[in-house]
Structure formats: structure tokens, C-alpha cells
Amino acid sequence: MTMHTKTLKQLSQGLQTGEYSSQELTLAYLNRIQQYSALNSFISVTEAQAIAAAKQADALLTAGNAPLLTGIPMAHKDIFCTQGVKTSCGSKMLDNFIAPYNATVVDNLNAAGMVSLGKLNMDEFAMGSSNETSFYGTAYNPWADNTVPGGSSGGSAAAVAARLIPAATGTDTGGSIRQPAAFCGITGLKPTYGRVSRYGMIAYASSLDQGGPMTQTAEDAALMLQAMAGFDPKDSTSAQQDVPNYSTNLNNSLQDLKIGLPKEFFDEGLNNDMATAIETAVNEYKQMGAEIIEVSMPHLKLAIPAYYVIAPAECSANLQRMDGVRFGHRCDNPEDLNDLYIRSRGEGFGTEVKRRILVGTYALSAGYYDAHYIKAQKIRRLITEDFTKALESVDVIMGPVTPTPAFGIGEKTADPIEMYLADIYTIAINLAGLPAMSIPAGFIDNKPVGLQIIGNYFAEAKLLNVAHQYQQVTNWHQQTPKGFE
């Protein structure tokens, strides 16, 4: 087996037994990143820092007692602040921004000994479902020419799928970990809101944003989440809840597991081949002894309209700080303060970001606040109740991640609503703040399919167990796209 197809678990064994060094591993992955630069999955490659970190990791490994992930390469979505390294958030606005501090997630993974190779491509300020809103151009899906990798964590998913890195960080506000994971045939986990610190993770919609791991396997997602999760005094929304050991229960039996299938997930909107693929995956669980129960989420159809009021409202406030004064893009020769604001923001933000700032500002303005924003918050509550009610009678909820497999580049850019509908099965979970995973569950015309597993608050260990058991009896997660073997 070549090095780049190995999982974190396998790489850790090789490093700990001295089969190869972190420096060797780091150079091998850096070479692959260069070899496949046409995928456009990276915005920055931090070679010198990576080699220095690998040297340190090797010293720790030789000394013994190094933590499990020591010396393993990875990369961060370019939304996480990395001290001394450009943190662009996929935007021209922050193209010149060198973060002065690390996000807590970055600090945590550094402390776990991981070696960051750079920063990954993404939709501008995480607004998008295809990576096409990135100032740096879209990343490509390694599975099929001219298809999108999904978004907003498209670079993370493409790079892990192409085996340019064994793991990446992502963030998920309405599906941005799960949808690209599904499109690229990898495993993605969006944790419970508050499980992973948002400190230093550039805010899009603060009440929905959550960071999480993107890996080949559920076993690896458990290792990454272990290092990423935990209470952070620097993030007031971070949960004061102990982090369990995510790796110990992976092999629990699924005998009598109760799986809820929301009937609204399998309506007309779902492509037939996708429905068949998900049914096949659910049947696999039946074989393992699980019981299937139909559940209903009557308010699910309101998730997209509610999200597209709440998320823009929050983003319009969060993005106010980008004004050309303290950091980020500043226009040339401003005439006065107003001109500075108008031109700096006008030049720095892309079309989709501007659209959302306008929508959000409108929804929050006097007179429209009650009509739109308050109403959306009420819908959010009803959607949350649909889920909590269903989760009283089942252990997990399953369904598709996306209505179709990866779509073509340019296919949905002309119509924003079309693009928004790509997240129909993921957005409600963020509104409810629940944890959910996407795992590889087959192919349609050579394009990967994702199975979504949704759990109760802080039930990440259960989700990982359910995902891992599926990966013991299937090999979808081990497939590598042609040309990247």
C-alpha cells in the first residue's frame, strides 16, 4: 500500500514504529500537492512551516510517548486563523490578511502533534455549495471532470479525496462539511453546535457555524474530533461538557439500533438513483440488526427559507468588520470615510457575499425584522422540535446528504435559488444544532453518494459507532478516484 492511501490510524502506527519519519511523510504529501495542483484545492501551501513542524514531530516520536496524531500531515480550511499565515476565507477582502493568532482548533491540532501543510480552498466566507464563489477559482472534484467538489469546504473534500492529505478541517453552517464530503466520497462530521470552539474561525452565521473533521474513515474522524473538541473559555458558545473517548465505542453492536427515516427526505425532490442508493445503505443496517422506523418532520420544507433569512442576517452583522480600516482590502486613494467603506467593500466582496449582506440587512431593518427575522426564528424552533421529537423514539435519523450527486461546474451559478436547494437535506440540522455525518455509500455514474446520519445533541460517539460499523462491511470509503491512486 502506498503511503498516501493510508488512514490516520495506519499512518500513526507507521510513525510510532519508525517505519517512516514525519519528514518523509510530509515531503511525500507536499509532492502530491504539487503534482496535483490543477485540482486547485489549496490556497496556500506552507512548505517551510510544515517541514519545521515535521522535524519537531520526529524529535517527539524518537523521544517516545508522542500523542497518537504526532507527525501526521493535514491541512486547514482557509477559514481558520493561522498565526503568521495568510487566512483569506476564500475572499479578495482577506487576500492580504496574515492572521495574528491561531484559531483554537488550529492550536488543538498543533498540540496533538499534527503537521499542517497549508490552507484549503473554499467558497467566499463559506457562502456557497460548490466552491465556485471562491476568489481563487473553484476547486475540482477529483471523481469526475468538470464537476464541483461541493462547498463551502470544497478544497478540504477534494484534497482528502485525491489523497493529497489524509485529513482536513472544515466548517458547516448549512451543510458545508457534509455536502462536499458526499460529493467527493469521503467521511465528514459536523459536531453538535458548541462542541468545537469557534474562536478564530472566521464567522459566517455565528449561531449555525461549527467546525469538524473531514477524513477517509469514521475511525479517523473520531481521532480528529478527539483533538478538536472541548470547552474553550475564549468562545462563549462553546459547551461546558466533557469530551468522551470517541474511539472506544466504535465496535459496539448495532443490534436493535433504531433508525428513523423521515418521510419528507424521500419525496419528489430526491433523484431516483439517489433514493435507491440510500435504501441499499439502510438495508445494510437492517442486516446488522437495526430496526427501521418511519418518522415525520412536517416543518422541514421551511428550513431553506428560514435559513436564508437567519444566515444572511447574521452574516450582514459579522461582515461589517471588513471595512478597509483595520485589516483586509482597502481601496486606493479614498476621498473620505464613506468612499473608503463603499469602495473597499465593493471591491473586496464577491457577488454572492454582497447578495447575502443586502438580504440580511433588509431582513433586520425596522419594519421587516418582525415580518422576516422573528418569523424565521419561530420556524427554527419548530424544526428543532421536529427533530427532538423524532429522536425520542429513534437512536439516529438517516437519509441522503444531497438530492443528486456532484453537479457540473457552472450548472447552478446562474440561479442562486437552484444552488440553495442543493442543501435541502443538510440545512435543517444546523438550525437545530444537532450533530450529523456524511459517509460514502456508493456511486451513481461514477460519482460518490453520501449517506447522512443525524444524532441527538452530543451523540457524536454514537454517530461514529454507526458510521464505523457500516465501513466494516462496505468499502466505498476506500475507493480512490482514477488518476489519483
Task: Indicate which residues carry an active-site annotation.
Answer: 77, 152, 176
Report if residue 402 touches ligand GLN, rule: CB under 6 A. Answer: no
Q: Which of 107, 124, 132, 172 binds ligand GLN (CB under 6 A)?
A: 172
Q: Which amino acid is at 475?
A: N
* Residue placing its CB nearer to ligand GLN in the complex, 29 or 387: 387
Q: How far is the CB of 62 from ligand GLN (least distance, A)?
A: 41
Asked whether position 175 contacts ligand GLN by CB under 6 A, the answer is: yes
Residue 21 binds ligand GLN, judged by CB under 6 A = no
Give the 3-state secondary structure of 93-161.
Answer: HHCCCECCCCCHHHHHHHHCCCEEEEEECCCHHHCCCCCCCCCCCCCCCCCCCCECCCCCCHHHHHHHH
Reference 309, options 350, 355, 358, 359; nearest CA is 359
3-state secondary structure of 289: coil
Nearest-5° Cα angle at 316, 313 to 322 = 160
Sequence letter at residue 34? Q
Identify the residue among 71, 142, 154, 174 touching ligand GLN (CB under 6 A).
174
Q: Measure the CA–CA gap between 70 and 65, rounded to whole angstroms.
A: 10
Nearest approach, Cβ of 312 to ligand GLN (angstroms)? 9
Instruction: Rank residues 210 and 216 by Cβ distance to ligand GLN and give the closer one.
Output: 210
Interface with ligand GLN, residue 176, by CB under 6 A: yes
Q: Does 152 bind ligand GLN (CB under 6 A)?
A: yes
Which of 77/299 has CB closer to ligand GLN?
77
Return the number of the residue (104 or 171) whose C-beta is nearest ligand GLN: 171
Burial 198-223 (b: 16+ CB within 10 A, else e): bbbbbbbbbbbbbbbbbbbbbbbbbb
Cis bond before residue 152 (omega within 30° of 0):
yes
Report how far residue 330's alpha carbon sits from residue 469's, in angstroms, rounded to the nearest whole number. 52
- Closest separation between CB of residue 131 and ligand GLN, Å? 10
Applying CB under 6 A, the span of 45-53, 89-97, 170-178, 181-189 interacting with ligand GLN comes to 170-178
Tell me the window of 127-135, 363-371, 387-395, 477-485 that interacts with ligand GLN (CB under 6 A): 127-135
Q: Does 157 bind ligand GLN (CB under 6 A)?
A: no
Total chain residues near ligand GLN (CB under 6 A): 13
Helical spans, DSSP H, in 166-271: 178-184, 218-228
The verdict on 147 binding ligand GLN (CB under 6 A) reads no
State yes or no: residue 127 binds ligand GLN (CB under 6 A). yes
Q: Assign residue 84 a region: left if phi > 0, alpha if psi is -120 to 50, beta otherwise?
A: left
Q: Does 129 bind ligand GLN (CB under 6 A)?
A: yes
Stretch that binds ligand GLN, among 122-130, 228-236, 318-326, 438-446 (CB under 6 A): 122-130
- Footprint (CB under 6 A) of ligand GLN, residues 294-313: 311
Residue 161 makes CB contacts below 8 A (sequence gap 6+) with 141, 142, 143, 149, 184, 185, 186, 448, 480, 481, 484
175, amino acid identity: G
The nearest distance, CB 362 to ligand GLN, in angstroms, is: 17
477: CB partners within 8 A, 6+ apart: 185, 186, 187, 216, 217, 439, 440, 471
Binding mask 412-431 for ligand GLN (x = CB under 6 A): -----------x--------
User: Residue 220 or residue 423: which is nearer to ligand GLN going by CB?
Assistant: 423
All residues at 6 or more sequence positions from 362 whose CB lies less than 8 Å from its CB, including other chains: 368, 372
Is residue 105 within the footprint of ligand GLN (CB under 6 A)? Answer: no
Note the maximum CA span of the chain: 70
Q: Which of 66, 69, 75, 126 binds ligand GLN (CB under 6 A)?
A: 126
Smallest distance, ligand GLN to C-beta of residue 402, A: 11
- Applying CB under 6 A, which part among 166-174, 273-281, 282-290, 333-341 lies near ligand GLN? 166-174
Sorted by sequence, the CB contacts under 8 Å of residue 81 that are 6+ apart come out as 87, 99, 101, 102, 103, 106, 200, 201, 202
Q: How far is the CB of 98 from ligand GLN (least distance, A)?
A: 23
Nearest C-alpha neighbor of 92 from the set 340, 356, 321, 353: 353
Alpha-carbon dihedral sign for residues 310, 385, 151, 100: positive
- One symbol per residue from 309 to 348: x for binding ligand GLN (CB under 6 A), - otherwise; what is it? --x-------------------------------------
Counting contacts by CB under 6 A, is residue 138 touching ligand GLN?
no
Sign of CA dihedral 136, 142, 146, 152: negative
Q: Answer yes or no whether residue 128 interacts with ligand GLN by CB under 6 A.
A: yes
Q: Smallest distance, Å, CB 393 to ligand GLN?
A: 28
412-423 in b/e burial notation, b at 16+ Cβ within 10 A?
bbeebeebbebb
Q: Does 91 bind ligand GLN (CB under 6 A)?
A: no
Query: Which stretches of the chain bind ligand GLN, using CB under 6 A?
Result: 126-129, 152, 172-176, 204, 311, 423
